[in-house]
A and B are shown apart, each in its own frame.
Chain A
């Protein structure tokens, strides 16, 4: 029974992947991609990768899907013209042929992978006690490989600077995106009033349990960012001007606190990003707590886009 379910799931995922590639309209392709993300989440659940499933749902399907829908909507008017310029049938067949060949070669490689796969899981289990956290994923992300997590927060910040840099010069320092207008008594405004309190609580919960159970700051922050975007879309709040000092401080607070705690480790525990024994868990929580607003703001602002309005009202 379970095998049949899994095979069906895998088939659907492949079908949707194919649909996203061959769909003629960008919008249809994006819809296929979002459904693909949702099913991929299920696949991760089936593989007992709950943390990965949460991330896939929040970032892979949700956030990326929202970005792609925005892009597809904007591209709608130019799509017919782009299709005329597209490659002809021979090129398409050649591309398909080469892709199939590479996939087949890859499949040979993947099938030759050792079974059981070599893993560091026992190593993680042996050392997790030192970190004080119960979720092995959190231990990897914030202790054993904390540097990667720090660098990824910094990557996001660079990406945001990149998004901002697309602003017209005269709007530099101004508010990102366009002011959203919605019927104050409409359904959107209603949802934007009712949902965020629940969403924010859920976001904080996912973040808080991340120390010992599946969850964490990235998934929690995505949920919080989604609530913020909802409020902005309903016209109940406006995006802050990018020159605001509080905004800039919150944007760098996460990485700076992370680095500061890392430097404390040099003094107290003999290595950058090492935690002194006994207080590892509190320090990890401080880092996650500082990263939470930073990530929420970066993810939200990245979706809103470059400044499009004058610096000050």
Chain B
């Protein structure tokens, strides 16, 4: 294995954003924004040329750092998984950069200020760190990458500087560090057992045996804590409650994708033969629980931003549904295939759509001075672009043609049907209904005619509105971009009876859920009906259980219990 042509691009994709941070820190003041802008353009060019190169040759791009081959040295590798994620992250970073221009842009003559300085430097820091996660071929370098992501992500939570945001940031830091340590412990044990940390070499050497099972359990659970998969999501809602919209977009769309990607790498590329179908069922089961709890609690929220935050928990769940669907015919090893492609598409569409939604919620807050869902009447008329961005992102997440989520759902439904796992078909369709529910809920409120005189609105930046719209559109049109490498017959005419019927059913189910679960009744007619009363009671019960799960003792015990459970499920493999 040698350095391939173009390998230098991998080093640049990681280090150019970091050099941007270093230069921004030195120049300081008003230059930070300019440095960030130049770096984003340069980074975009690097990722684009890497993608075009990989698209032409189709081979993995490799770079041996210092010319030292693994196991002694470190290799950077970019396969199609890495490049897809890098492209998505680059596009989202661009969108967030444009959006944040008005919030954190520089004022001529003003002195350096804390929030913009921190925001731009950390935006670049998150980018370089994530690129490292995507291209690193060494498990210890990946640990450093995880730490880089965490340390650049945590201060974004408390950019606002209020006491409660500090608490939220500390919560995130401590829980994420616990996750990192579990990962590091796993890496140490792997070196002790197999004498290398290189992913390609490990994949050849690793055997299904006790040490590999403990490592898989520890690392997986540590990464789940960082990804905020239910029931390990204690840090996510408070982190979003007080973070600026741009920071929330970074955290929800990008930061959690880093640790998620690492789970994918571990399961698919490091130990595809060590993990078992039953462990994958548990992983997807947690995902299904995340979808139900996250969505129901999202529908019960009174603030738009928290609704978007809780729906993030549901969407994180979606990202883990592909694992049991990606096993080979005998159910003995994970394989790269349509299910993985589906999961990846899901991640990309979630990254773009979720960033757009957080931006839209931030713009609504900026214009009104609040984001209480019940008081959003008239907003659609006043801020059509923002609401359009929210609606497009919502449609994309629901899986309406031609969104990426549509293709993802299609690929995963096929995989579920062909492997006879009908229960995941139900979860996949149900997830879309839940997404429809909160999109319907928000859109109904914003499209209402305001009862009293129109609320006074502050003007928001057009650039920010269009940045949100751009990302929403990206998510909705993702299927077209994905069709290059994928077979064309996957996308159906959205107006064909079958497709239209499904879409309508999803909307209908969503509307019913929204009617039953919203804290304020959507229609006067449904007030006080027996069904609504029961559903409200169930919703409150879900809120209570979510609150219980998010306490420190419960989350910590859940962390260890899951580690034990994963270990046991890996052990209990079917006899050959």
Q: A158 near B: Cβ within 8 Å?
A: yes
A117 to B159, CA, bound (A): 46
Indicate if the CB atoms of A169 and B114 lie closer than 8 Å. Answer: yes
Instruction: State A162–B170 Cα separation when bound (angstroms).
Output: 12
Q: How many residues of B contact A (CB 8 A)?
A: 68
B141 and A147 within 8 A (CB): yes
Q: Contact flags (1/0) for A100-144 with B, using CB distance below 8 Å?
A: 011001101110111001111001100100000000000000011
Q: Does B324 contact A (CB under 8 A)?
A: no
Interface size class of A (residues with CB under 8 A): 35 or more
Q: Say if the beta carbon of A243 comes within 8 Å of chain B.
A: yes
- Assess whether B214 is interfacial by the CB under 8 Å rule: yes
Are B22 and A252 in contact, CB atoms less than 8 angstroms apart?
Answer: yes
**B151, CB-defined interface residue at 8 Å:** yes
Q: Are B553 and A271 neighbours in the complex by a CB distance under 8 Å?
A: no
> How many angstroms between the C-alpha atoms of A88 and B541 in the bound complex?
23
The contact of A274 among B67, B132, B148, by CB within 8 Å, is B67
- Interface 9-residue window, one of B42-50, B298-306, B561-569: B561-569
Interface string of A266-293 (1 = CB under 8 A from B): 1001111111000000000000000000
Q: A101-B564, A172-B112 are in contact. Are A94 and B118 (CB under 8 A)?
A: no
Tell me the bound Cα distance from A109 to B573 in angstroms: 17
If A112-B210, A147-B141 touch, whether A161 touches B122 (CB-CB below 8 Å) is: yes
CB contacts (< 8 Å) of B193 on chain A: these are 113-114, 118
Interface on chain A toward B: helix, strand, loop, or mixed SS?
A: helix
B113 touches A169 (CB 8 A): yes
Contact in complex: A95, B557 (CB < 8 Å): yes
Are A173 and B564 within 8 A (Cβ)?
no
Interface hit among A18-26, A43-51, A148-156: A148-156
Q: Return the contact of A144 from the options B11, B25, B66, B211 (Cβ within 8 A).
A: B66
B121-A161 in contact (CB<8A):
yes
Tell me whether B213 is interfacial, beta carbon within 8 Å.
Answer: yes
Chain B residues, CB < 8 A from A251: 25-26
Give the residues in chain B near A259, CB-CB below 8 Å: 15, 18-19
B65's closest neighbor in chain A, by CB? Answer: A147
0 or 1 for each of A285-313: is its CB under 8 Å from B? (1 = yes): 00000000000000000000000000100
Q: Which of A87, A112, A252, A272 contacts B8 (CB 8 A)?
A: A272
- Asked if B152 lies at the interface with its beta carbon under 8 angstroms from chain A, I say yes
Closest to B568 in A: A105
How far does the Cβ of A145 sit from chain B's closest Cβ, in whole Å? 6
B192 CB-CB contact with A under 8 Å: yes
Residues of chain B within 8 A (CB-CB) of A144 are 66, 68, 72-74
Question: Among residues 154 to 182 in chain A, which have CB atoms less than 8 Å away from a CB atom of chain B?
Answer: 154-155, 157-159, 161-162, 164-169, 172-173
Give the distance in Å from the alpha carbon of A119 to the alpha carbon of B141 in the complex: 18
Contact assessment for A146 and B214 in the assembled complex, using a CB-CB cutoff below 8 Å: no
Within the complex, the shortest CB–CB distance from B215 to chain A, in Å, comes to 8
Task: Check A240 for interface membership: any CB of B closer than 8 A.
Answer: no
CB–CB B189/A110 < 8 A: yes
In the complex, the answer to whether B151 meets A95 with C-beta atoms within 8 Å is no
Query: Is A91's beta carbon under 8 Å from chain B?
Result: yes
Q: List 25 A-B contacts (CB under 8 A).
A: A87-B553, A95-B560, A105-B567, A106-B214, A108-B210, A113-B193, A117-B192, A118-B194, A118-B196, A119-B195, A127-B72, A144-B66, A144-B68, A147-B141, A148-B140, A154-B148, A159-B151, A166-B161, A166-B166, A168-B161, A169-B113, A265-B66, A270-B67, A271-B3, A271-B64
